[in-house]
Amino acid sequence: MSRILGRYVLRTYLGALGAIFLGVLTIFLVADFVDRAKAYTGPHWVSDAAVLYGFKSLVAIRELAPAALLLAAGTAVSLMRKRGELTALSALTFGPGSIYGPIALAAAVVALGLVGFDDWVAVDAGRRV
């Protein structure tokens, strides 16, 4: 497999992952805030809610990341198919592993990072929420 192709597929996947993850996280936090907005009262409710949603975002990262990984993989492959890049790669005798390999590698690295994130960050944030 070509290094240039691997970097391109990886960049496409990570771009889709970042956009999808931020979108899903934002929707989750806004929906949760709107659902509980009546409960936030008092003189410092804005700063208290900001701290609460800071910790909630850390917990939500742990919960939403697996779905974002899968959605980003499908989006990246679909985007490459829409652009005609999969057809071009198959005409150049690149197999499916040249597309799925970098995506699987990136997803595995992010998943392992999430294990450490869960152990060191999200557990304490969950207690504070």
Q: What's the pLDDT at 109?
A: 95
Q: What's the pLDDT at 40?
A: 85
> DSSP H helical segments within the chain, as ranges?
3-36, 45-82, 85-91, 97-117, 123-128
pTM > 0.75: yes
Retrieve residue 10's tokens. Answer: 């990886």
HSE, CB side, 13 Å, CA atoms: give it for residue 95.
3
Q: What's the pLDDT at 62?
A: 86
Mean pLDDT in order along the chain per 10 residues (129 residues):
87 95 95 89 88 89 92 94 87 84 94 86 70
Q: What's the pLDDT at 127?
A: 67
Q: What's the pLDDT at 121?
A: 80
